[in-house]
Amino acid sequence: MQNRVYLGLAILAALCFAPAVPSNYAAQTVDGVPSEKIKSLMNERRDVLAKRVSAVESHYKSGLSTLEPLIDARDELFAAELELAESREERIELLKSRLENLKEGEERILELQKVGASGGSESEGLLATSRRLLAEIELERALVSD
């Protein structure tokens, strides 16, 4: 049991340093359209991240992991899918799903904070809130853009 706590803490610490936004290199295109090689690599990355979500979800459901790694894995997948989205509507739906995912993570950390459990430090709560706010900003920008 103690090992699971340490594993959860280590994973949560890694989340604090995980990127919350897509790579700057995602925008590299030729005349506004990703090259075939870039598009192929982006699709491959998305597929790998989808497999990662499944693996982390299995660990979570079996009690071998906390919720935070699952939230992070989903967020990375949403970021990869956003890079591949071709329509405004598709981007908006992905941004909504991403926001819900980050809200779930934020709520979990704030719950841990209330009970004084590990994984619920003030710093982690503020990071989770910041990530959720960024997702809300991105969604609002997509909703008001043409």
Q: How confident is the model at residue 32 (pLDDT cuts 50, 70, 90)?
A: low
According to the model, what pLDDT value does residue 66 have?
Answer: 86
Q: Which long-range contacts (CB under 8 A, 24 or more apart) does 127-136 make?
A: 127/16, 128/102, 130/20, 131/20, 131/75, 131/102, 131/105, 131/106, 132/99, 132/102, 132/103, 132/105, 132/106, 134/20, 134/21, 135/95, 135/98, 135/99, 135/102, 136/99
pLDDT at 26 over 80: no
| Mean pLDDT across 16-43 | 66
Residue 124 resides in a domain: yes
Domain assignment present for residue 58? The answer is yes
How many domains does one find in the chain?
Answer: 1
Domain assignment of residue 46, yes or no: yes
- Asked whether residue 23 is assigned to any structural domain, the reply reads no
pLDDT of 137 over the 80 cut: yes
Does the pTM surpass 0.95? The reply is: no
Q: Is residue 96 part of a domain?
A: yes
pLDDT value at position 69? 92
Does residue 22 form part of some domain? no
Residue 21 lies in a domain: no
Structural domain of residue 132, as residue ranges? 2-13+34-144
pLDDT digits over 36-91, tens only?
999 999 999 999 999 999 999 999 999 998 888 999 999 999 999 999 999 999 99
